[in-house]
Amino acid sequence: MNHSSCIELNTEAYKHNLEFIKSQISKHTVFSSVVKGNAYGHGIEEFVKIALNAGVDHFSVYSSYEARRVYDVIKDENCTLLIMGDVNENDFEWVIKNEIEFFVFEQIRLQKAKNVAQKLGKKALCHVELETGMNRTGFTPEEIDNVLSFFEKNKDTLKFKALCTHFAGAESIGNYVRIEDQCRIFLNVKKHCEETGVKPEIYHTCCSAAMIRYPSMHFDMVRVGILQYGFWPSREIFIEYLKNKAIKESPLWRLINWKSYIMSIQKVKTGEYIGYGTTYLAGHDMKIAIVPIGYANGFSRTLSNTGRVLIRGERLPVVGIVNMNCLQIDVTGVENVSIGDEVVIIGDQGDLEVTVSSFGELSDQLNYELLTRLPLDIPRFIK
Ligand SMILES: *Cc1c(COP(=O)(O)O)cnc(C)c1O
C-alpha cells in the first residue's frame, strides 16, 4: 500500500525500553504491556508482534474491540490478555470462552460474567477493580464484602483473579496526597481480603508513573504503557528520575519514526503570500516544498507557521497554514532538494531529531494524546 506517509517502529528501541522496565521491577512482578489506543498510536498488530518477539507474554487493552485485535496476533502464543475497561455486551461470550481476563467494577457486570460463564461451562477470570479515589470505575471499599461473598457463592463460575486499582495522576507530585490516600485504602482492602480468606490470586496497581514512583505498590504485576514506547508519563517524572540517578540522558528510546516525502516544489517571489490567506508573506524569493501530510493525517493545524520537519539533514520550518492534506516547508537555500526527498515529521535524520515532545509542545498536545491520535490508516512497518 502506498500511503503519503509511513510510521516505522524500531525493534531495538523496544528491547532497550523493556530492559529498563525490567530493571525497575522484581523478577516476581509480571510486566503487562498496555496496548490500548492502537498501542499508543504505534499500531496494535505491529507493536504486539515486536513485544512478543522480545518475550512479552501479558497484554492489557481498554476494550473488547481492542482485545480482538490483540487476540488475532497472540492466539497461538502462551499469553495473557486483560481488558481494563469496556466489554461490549456482544463480546462477553467471546471473552469468557477464550479465557480473556477483565476488570469488574459493577454488580451488573459481575452478574453478567456469572451468567455467561455458567452458560458456557467456563470460568470468568475477574480482576476486581477497587475505587480508591480516582472516582472513575471500581467497587467502593464499602461494597467489597458483598463482592467477596458473591465470589464465595459462585466459585465454580467466577475466578477472583486479582484485586486492582488505578491511581489518579501518579505522574504529578501535586497529586501526592491523593495517591497516598489511594495506596492506604488499597492496602486496607487487601488486608481485609487476606483476613477473610477470600483472596485474589494477584494484586496490581501501577501504571508507568506509579511503577517509577511507588515501588512498594508493584505487588504481582505492573501495567505499563507510555514508558515502553520510550516516553515519560510527564516531564516532572523524567526530571525527578534524572536527578535521583544523577544521569543526564533519558534511558528510554523512541520506537516511532514518521516520514513522508516531497511531492512538489514551488518558487515564490518576494511579496507573495504563501498558502491560504495572508499568514505568510515571502520577504525574499523563496523555494517551497509541498509535503502530502496535513491535519487530516495527524499534523495539527496549530503547527501552521511554527512546525519543523527534517529534509536533507536540515531542520526546516512550516510556512503558512497547515492544509487538510498537505503543508508547505521553506526549503530556500537547501542544495539539491528534489521531489521524492524524505521528510521526517517525527524521528531522526542525520544528526538531527524531531522529538514527539517537541512536536507535542508546539501543538499543545500531551505525548499520550498526540501518539494515540496518529491516524489508523498510516501504514506501520517494523524495522
Ligand atoms: C492506560 C492505563 C495504564 C497505563 O498507563 P501508562 O501511564 O501509559 O503507563 C495502566 N492502567 C490502567 C487502568 C490504564 O487505563
DSSP category for residue 281? B
pTM of the model: 0.95
- Would you say the CB of residue 224 lies under 6 angstroms from ligand 1? yes
What would the pLDDT profile of 19-56 be if each residue is shown by its tens digit?
Answer: 999 999 999 999 999 999 999 999 999 999 999 999 99
Domain that holds residue 308: 256-354
Residues 83 and 71: their CA atoms lie apart, in Å, by: 11
What's the CATH code of the domain at 336? Answer: 2.40.37.10
pLDDT surpassing 90 at residue 114: yes
- Count Cα atoms within 13 angstroms, Cβ side, for 355: 13
pLDDT surpassing 90 at residue 255: yes
Q: So what's the pLDDT on residue 264?
A: 98
pLDDT surpassing 80 at residue 57: yes
Claim to verify: residue 175 and residue 57 sit in the same structural domain: yes
Claim to verify: residue 203 and residue 336 sit in the same structural domain: no
Claim to verify: residue 321 and residue 232 sit in the same structural domain: no
Q: Are 193 and 165 in contact (CB under 8 A)?
A: no
pLDDT surpassing 90 at residue 365: no
| Residue 309, beta-bridge partner list | 316
pLDDT surpassing 70 at residue 249: yes
Say if 263 falls within a structural domain: yes
- Would you tell me how many other CB atoms lie within 10 Å of the CB of residue 305? 16
Claim to verify: residue 206 and residue 270 sit in the same structural domain: no
**DSSP letters spanning 118-174:** HHHT--EEEEEEB-SSS-SS-B-GGGHHHHHHHHHHTTTTEEEEEEE---S-TT-GG
Residues 224 and 227: their CA atoms lie apart, in Å, by: 7
Pairing of strands 158-164, 124-129: parallel
What's the CATH code of the domain at 182? Answer: 3.20.20.10
- Count Cα atoms within 13 angstroms, Cβ side, for 65: 5
User: Ligand 1, from 24, 136, 207: best to mutate by most atoms within 8 Å of Cβ?
Assistant: 207
Q: So what's the pLDDT on residue 239?
A: 92
User: Ligand 1, from 60, 212, 218, 371: best to mutate by most atoms within 8 Å of Cβ?
Assistant: 60
Claim to verify: residue 325 and residue 193 sit in the same structural domain: no
Q: So what's the pLDDT on residue 1?
A: 58
Atom of ligand 1 nearest to the CA of 171: 7
- Would you say the CB of residue 223 lies under 6 angstroms from ligand 1? yes
User: Mean of the per-residue pLDDT values for the chain?
Assistant: 96
Claim to verify: residue 64 and residue 138 sit in the same structural domain: yes
Residues 132 and 139: their CA atoms lie apart, in Å, by: 9
Q: So what's the pLDDT on residue 220?
A: 98
Say if 4 falls within a structural domain: no
Claim to verify: residue 24 and residue 58 sit in the same structural domain: yes
Claim to verify: residue 346 and residue 204 sit in the same structural domain: no
What would the pLDDT profile of 136-157 be if each residue is shown by its tens digit?
Answer: 999 999 999 999 999 999 999 9
Claim to verify: residue 141 and residue 264 sit in the same structural domain: no
**DSSP letters spanning 57-124:** -EEEESSHHHHHHHHHHHTTS--EEEE-S---GGGHHHHHHTT-EEEE-SHHHHHHHHHHHHHHT--E
- Count Cα atoms within 13 angstroms, Cβ side, for 190: 19
- Would you say the CB of residue 84 lies under 6 angstroms from ligand 1? yes
Pairing of strands 314-317, 256-261: unpaired
Average the pLDDT over each of 136-140, 309-313, 356-360 and give the range with the smallest value.
356-360
Per-residue pLDDT band for 342 (boundaries 50, 70, 90) equals very high
- Would you tell me how many other CB atoms lie within 10 Å of the CB of residue 24? 17
Number of domains in the chain: 2
Claim to verify: residue 220 and residue 325 sit in the same structural domain: no
Atom of ligand 1 nearest to the CA of 368: 8
Q: Are 224 and 18 in contact (CB under 8 A)?
A: no
For residue 41, give the C-alpha cell: 498510536
Say if 272 falls within a structural domain: yes
Claim to verify: residue 165 and residue 216 sit in the same structural domain: yes
Claim to verify: residue 220 and residue 260 sit in the same structural domain: no
Instruction: Write the single-letter amino acid at 267.
Output: K
Atom of ligand 1 nearest to the CA of 224: 9
Q: So what's the pLDDT on residue 304?
A: 96
User: What value does the CA radius of gyration of the chain take, rounded to a whole number of Å?
Assistant: 24
pLDDT surpassing 80 at residue 364: no
Per-residue pLDDT band for 359 (boundaries 50, 70, 90) equals confident
Residue with cell 497547515: 322
Per-residue pLDDT band for 179 (boundaries 50, 70, 90) equals very high
Atom of ligand 1 nearest to the CA of 40: 8
Say if 16 falls within a structural domain: yes
Say if 49 falls within a structural domain: yes
Residue with cell 531542520: 315
